[in-house]
Structure 1
């Protein structure tokens, strides 16, 4: 690896760390599987740091969308269950076909409630003891996104699931898998892990509707970032239609310093696919 600025190299290694940067220069190795750690000719530390910064900005912009979609999902879940079943109806075991999963979810909710010190939670703890858990609109605010995903997945009523998912822009079956996937993506971003060319282990069903989304996603990229970004583009148009997030995302993607869009799962014609063509 060529290091033109030794001082910058020392600063990067001291403030980012060798091990974290290695996840990015692995991309520049000639044969990563060989164990020889030989770089491709012309590899520079500057290129590694530029790719690192690109990935950092990518995580930050995804967190913006994930926050909006997560808040919308929490609100949609709480609204549907409160309006149909009442403030504490979400704790009715009859709503959930699998009693064991329901109990696991309630146990986890109780644990998260006990650990929470939000002002509204402390007020409920001081003021009420029956029922022991708060109403659904409060639970939606302190429970983890992963647990919200589990409560949604456990619901037996298709009408409830469809009503909740529709407000986020998806069919309920797609949304169920997408919630689990987005929870893992958020964890990756929150822990500042490499994102740009990651191969995901948790995937989601391919959306068949609306047509623009179906024509944008790529079945060949089911474990790559491209489909995740495409799903976020669609959902953001539903939950935050006035946001400039899509254009900011597209501008950042175009700056991809590696020039390797395939590593992110982008098909060759991605710029012509409906959701991307509309913002480029």
Structure 2
């Protein structure tokens, strides 16, 4: 531990430092604009890939690395985040709808509030407290209407709860359900068995948070993983168990789910095209295995 003593640097000073470290800056106005509107620290997450030995503290760049190459990688990652948000939104909405429908049809409008449906009373109470907090903070029109109109039960019916509950909390309610038939019915609606979907919900919530906060995505190692699906065969044969922390398995899983929740969407073709436009050509950093283009879920998208 030591005191932080790095000085603030102006944009001209930032450019001078990058040039001193070997970064080729052919278009200084472009670099000034980018550092002013994206920021040095955000772009640093991308030029780290181009540094010669970042793990040793050596921040010099590999020979002939250009600022334009760094910017191209940043733009590629930005487009990946936007594309993933499209798929994640569709899958999240499908999961919310499936949860609300299952709970309402089997247990009634407020049956989801019955502690007997969950495996652990303490976890249910913690989830319920968090749901109450999210409900109290919500100012959606339908929430305000319920607050003004009804006093019992204190929380709204499940189809309303499905609209304001955070995705992270929804995953906790799903995981805590004691009846596997309920979990299987909900998970089936988005294309998975309940075991896979339970872990996948936690993972996708993490991925969505990365995207929502504009974090680096393309070569990230995720801390929250999910079980590798064993079926259907096309999905199982496309996934790469060795890439359990990488984007490849996330994208492959989204390809499978999008075919179910949004079968008319052009998203699979768009994401396949985008992946091939990786400006550094390093697919292994994203977890893509050898021969990924020939695997069942990717091959049809790349053959045209």
Shorter-chain TM-score range:
over 0.9
Q: Of the candidates 186, 189, 210, which is equivalent to residue 211 of structure 2?
A: 189
1:25-64 to structure 2, matched below 5 A, reads 25-64=47-86
Runs (4+) of structure 1 exceeding 3 A deviation are none
Q: Report Cα offsets for 1:66-92 as digits up to 9, x if no partner.
A: 000000000000000000000000000
**Partner of residue 145, structure 1:** 167
**Partner of residue 236, structure 1:** 258
Distance 1:178 1:258 in 2: 29
Q: Of the candidates 137, 161, 173, which is equivalent to residue 183 of structure 2?
A: 161
Query: What SS does structure 1 have at the residue aligned with 2:58?
Result: coil
Q: CA deviation at 1:46?
A: 0.2
**Partner of residue 88, structure 1:** 110
In the alignment, structure 1 residue 110 sits paired with structure 2 residue 132: yes
Distance 2:252 2:270 in 1: 14
Distance 1:44 1:73 in 2: 43
Distance 1:36 1:104 in 2: 47
**Partner of residue 17, structure 1:** 39
Query: What SS does structure 1 have at the residue aligned with 2:56?
Result: coil
**RMSD of Structure 2 on Structure 1 (CA):** 0.4
Distance 1:143 1:164 in 2: 16
Distance 2:56 2:195 in 1: 41
Query: What SS does structure 2 have at the residue aligned with 1:267?
Result: coil
In our comparison, the structure showing a higher alpha carbon Rg is 2
TM-score by length of 2: 0.92
Distance 1:268 1:211 in 2: 19
Distance 2:164 2:248 in 1: 30
Distance 1:108 1:129 in 2: 19
**Partner of residue 223, structure 1:** 245
Q: CA deviation at 1:202?
A: 0.1
Q: CA deviation at 1:36?
A: 1.3
Distance 2:274 2:180 in 1: 38
Query: What SS does structure 2 have at the residue aligned with 1:152?
Result: helix
Distance 2:198 2:289 in 1: 25
In the alignment, structure 1 residue 276 sits paired with structure 2 residue 298: yes
**Partner of residue 282, structure 2:** 260
Q: Of the candidates 236, 250, 275, which is equivalent to residue 272 of structure 2?
A: 250
Q: Report Cα offsets for 1:14-34 as digits up to 9, x if no partner.
A: 000000000000000111101
Q: CA deviation at 1:38?
A: 1.3
**Partner of residue 127, structure 1:** 149
Query: What SS does structure 2 have at the residue aligned with 1:129?
Result: coil
Q: Which runs of 5+ in 2 are unaligned?
A: 1-22
Query: What SS does structure 1 have at the residue aligned with 2:91?
Result: helix
Query: What SS does structure 2 have at the residue aligned with 1:38?
Result: strand
Q: Which runs of 5+ in 1 are unaligned?
A: none
